[in-house]
Homo-oligomer: A and B are copies of this chain.
Amino acid sequence: MNKEFDIIRRYFKKTVSNAILGIGDDAALIVPSSKTELAISMDTLVSGKHFFADTDPYKLGYKSLAVNLSDMAAMGAKPRWAMLSLTLPKILAEQNEVWLGDFSQGFFELAQTYQIELIGGDTTSGPLSICVQIIGEVAKGDALRRSGALVGDDIWVSGCLGDAALALCHEKQQMVLESDEIDYCLSALHMPTARIVLGQKLIGLAHSAIDISDGLMADLGHILSASNKAATIDLVLIPCSSVMQRVIQRPFALDCLLSGGDDYELCFTASKSKHKAIEVLSEELSLPLTCIGEIIQGEGLIVKDADGNEISMEKTGYDHFRS
């Protein structure tokens, strides 16, 4: 018990100004703005499943918040409050100067970037696992849902895809990367950038949105299922980093691009009439936004190669999507 309260006081309790009551009572108290809806999500990262046990705790703190911010981005919501439930092996709690200090620094560095306040949670001992819950605000009726895609919509993605998955392939020794390539890909894996500003700017532009956490195929697939639509995308249009371009012919690389997880870019659909506005937004944010295909009537997702031929999805992780 002693340790739990020490840990909370030392590493996680900060003065809050956007909450009525933060850490330290049976519950936190907040007053949302009256004209907003609250967007709420939670994501758990489990050691050995979502990260290697020896991952730098600073990056882990950062990422555990980033993946939740990405959900807010995908709704077009402004993230405001977070809760953290940290399950920690005794050995890490005992090394707390090192591990907890770094973890909380990574968490709060990202939190401060967006003025997000940690208002509660708990700490317990057990196998390493991090559960973050996030609450954001979005004007009533404005939230970007998965279900709004319309026939004729352009399909867009932000940034580049597949680099985090390349890093995982490298760490699993499925692929050998050069040292500068590794650094770039590991950074994509460990410190993803949630597209918070983009998400909010897409309100009024996009019909639907999702963040790419399970891979493009799976996540675009969620938009299609929720919207009861089909899509065609062009493989050559999918935005690739220079690293991905260099390795694209190697085994696993195409899987990484199409089905790799952990990108945390946004995939969204918008009317063709918004094409120009989205290009302007891309410049304004200095963030590549790439149109990769189109929403069509029907069911399923068709990926076409450079010659316009349909690519068999058995090869490219389509099974992930079939879930």
Q: Is A125 interfacial (CB-CB < 8 Å)? A: yes
Least Cβ–Cβ distance between A220 and chain B, in angstroms: 13
State the copy count for this chain.
2
Which B residues lie within 8 Å of A250 (CB)? none
Least Cβ–Cβ distance between A130 and chain B, in angstroms: 10
Tell me which of A32, A140, A214 has the highest count of chain B C-beta atoms within 10 A of its own C-beta. Answer: A32
- Decide if B37 touches A20 in the complex (CB within 8 Å): yes
Given contacts A50-B124, A122-B42, A323-B5, contact A83 B25 (CB under 8 A): no
- Decide if B131 touches A85 in the complex (CB within 8 Å): yes
- Decide if B25 touches A146 in the complex (CB within 8 Å): yes
Which of A71-79, A275-283, A292-300 lies at the interface with chain B? A71-79
Which B residues lie within 8 Å of A129 (CB)? 87, 126-127, 129
Q: Is A24 interfacial (CB-CB < 8 Å)? A: yes
- Decide if A2 touches B322 in the complex (CB within 8 Å): yes
Closest Cβ neighbor of A20 among chain B residues: B37
A: interface residue count bin: 35 or more
Interface string of A1-29 (1 = CB under 8 A from B): 11011100000000000001100111111
Q: Is A315 interfacial (CB-CB < 8 Å)? A: no
Least Cβ–Cβ distance between A72 and chain B, in angstroms: 7
- Report which of B1, B30, B39, B75 forms a contact with A40, defined as CB distance below 8 A: B30
- Decide if A74 touches B119 in the complex (CB within 8 Å): no
Which B residues lie within 8 Å of A2 (CB)? 322-323
Q: CB within 8 Å of B: which of A86-145?
A: 87, 119-122, 124-127, 129, 131, 133-136, 138, 140, 143, 145
- Report which of B26, B41, B77, B323 forms a contact with A74, defined as CB distance below 8 A: B26
Which B residues lie within 8 Å of A125 (CB)? 46, 49
- Decide if A49 touches B124 in the complex (CB within 8 Å): yes
- Decide if A28 touches B39 in the complex (CB within 8 Å): yes
Q: Is A34 interfacial (CB-CB < 8 Å)? A: yes
Which B residues lie within 8 Å of A228 (CB)? none
Which B residues lie within 8 Å of A27 (CB)? 39-41, 71-72, 74-75, 77, 134, 136, 143
15 A-B residue contacts at CB 8 Å? A1-B214, A1-B218, A6-B323, A25-B146, A25-B226, A26-B72, A27-B74, A30-B37, A40-B83, A41-B83, A41-B120, A42-B131, A43-B122, A44-B85, A49-B125
